Homo-oligomer: A and B are copies of this chain.
């Protein structure tokens, strides 16, 4: 028999923890005297109690280790279950959202996607706004742990390349996760404080500064304003670009950095390729603005840098409606979003290291063309890469592309137009945030999207966040066959 109790136990604990964090928005609503705090009291009680009861009920089934199937199930179920509870404040609070909208919003938060179904953000109670930001912040740290511990161990999407040698058996996955989580938490907290201070210094109010710090460092992209970053043009855009870049680089390098080893950070080829790509896209977009639209250089470069970084890191803020830059910018931004940031960070989408591995593998193939019996090893960061890693990476790429196609078809079936369907599929699978077009573009939101499409997008955010295979495997016969 497959024992789901260890899975239920961990999920129960995490749900209870999510409930406990509701005390933060509760606190801010009390201090702001906006009369909205009972919503969070209610939500917290429901969530902590449910989580606690589930954990208690499953407690007797917890052994020293998780099997591989249990770990797979845990990873997906955590991200499917938490949004149910994260959604409660949106349903009973001032947003009075339907379950569809509330679940979408919470999923968009916890997966750090940042697509929103709400408009009129500027007038919402502070607690609700903080709750959206907190969901992203929690989701961000959660995904770093999953990307550093679970996915490499589950050998999903080629992430096994980041498997640490120090890391031995499956049985120890939970202690290891706890250890990494505590290291990461300090770094993540520290970066959040730095981001907050920076935004404060550059002129944001304290509440905006905290919220944008929470959603920058998680590459989440929720804002406290309908205009996203439109109200913070100038220096905050440069600062936010740096924060988003930091947030989308491998966090293991920061662990090494604070333990005194800086050179892995500077020698990481993934980081170099990533920064080069962001710089290239920014410069191209800026030059296009300067030469074709005769815009001055400084704002063009700043806006290009900010919005390109925002999309490529998967954050999804917008400081202008870049669709007004023309179709070239739209196409560049669409495909740049499918590149994504670095593995082992809060960034999403296909990610730089996969392109590096894929191109390295294609280079070997060209060599094999003229030396069919040659043995060429694909290398990454100086080390040889096993065929199993390459197969995982290539399969991820195929799954991502095919998912993009099928999801686009599904979205179009619900009546969305061509651009909205394709860009909506990309933004959800890549956990980016905004799509293209009038409806879900950087100036719009997902409020008017139909119910079926919202559920499709919620599922896609989940699958995309967990590198597809961690979710898809659960739906295959081959996975459950003994």
Contact = CB atoms under 8 A, between A and B. Distances in A.
Interface string A389-403: 011101101110100
A90 to B, nearest CB: 29
A251 to B, nearest CB: 25
A331 to B, nearest CB: 4
Contacts of A334: 408, 418
Contacts of A154: 369
Contacts of A422: 331, 422
A476 B362 CA distance: 11
A415 interface: yes
Number of identical monomers bound together in the oligomeric complex:
2
Contacts of A419: 418-419
A350 B368 CA distance: 22
Contact of A331 (B388, B392, B408): B408
B327 A405 contact: no
A187 interface: no
Contact of A327 (B362, B372, B415): B415
Given A361-B395, A401-B397, A405-B335, A366 B412 contact: no
A155 B369 contact: yes
Interface of A: 68-69, 72, 154-155, 288, 327-328, 330-332, 334-335, 338, 358, 361-363, 365-370, 372, 387-388, 390-392, 394-395, 397-399, 401, 405-406, 408-409, 411-413, 415-419, 421-422, 436, 469, 473, 476, 478-479
28 contacts: A68-B369, A69-B370, A72-B369, A327-B412, A327-B415, A327-B417, A328-B409, A328-B413, A328-B415, A331-B408, A331-B409, A332-B409, A332-B412, A335-B409, A358-B398, A361-B391, A362-B399, A365-B392, A366-B469, A366-B476, A366-B478, A367-B478, A368-B388, A369-B479, A390-B391, A391-B394, A394-B394, A394-B397
